[in-house]
Amino acid sequence: MYCVVQELERKIPSIGKPKRLVVQSHKINNQEFYTYCHSEEKLERPIKKAYKVTLHRSYRENNKVKKMQDSICTIGYYDFVDYGYYDFVVDRIIDLYKELNMTTHEIYSLVCCKLNPLQEEINLKYKDTEEYKSYKAQEETLEKYRKAKKEFEDKYGVGNFDYCYDVFLNLRNADN
């Protein structure tokens, strides 16, 4: 028994993470406060690959060698980045273990040997993309925002920060 990972080409590129954070302003009782959301404009993911994962096994029937193939799943290139592969393979492995007369751990080990290096390679390449860098910058901005908001609210009370500052920590309303 062995695992095969076949690379496929998709026709349509997938859509990635939002390009940036956007400040939104709202009014309650004539007081303006600020929230944020992610932009509707998303980064395009140029790689159009997917990977079909199958298990192959040989057996003898009437002194002839026959081959069987069991499909596990097809995983998109960016699914490795966004989710990993475990959720894609686990249900099918559970379905196959009785049929193959193997434990789920044995089947999972066969699949992992092929998919772990692929996932590491994809994740490493992804870290050089504009999407990853943009996402990390947004996460850094949000972390600074959360920290400043907590410090502010510890000092001045809960619910006041968003009346004064936006997500980029720009002072918007000095009167509050």
Read off the pLDDT of residues 93-106 as tens digits, 9 standing for 90 and up: 998 888 888 899 99
Q: What is the three-state SS of 59-100? A: EEECCEEEEEEEEEEEEEHHHHHHCCCHHHHHHHHHHHHHHH
The C-alpha atoms of residue 37 and residue 24 are separated, in whole angstroms, by 7
Give the model's confidence band at 176: pLDDT under 50 very low, under 70 low, under 90 confident, else very high: low
Name, of 25-29, 62-66, 75-79, 170-174, the range with top average pLDDT: 75-79
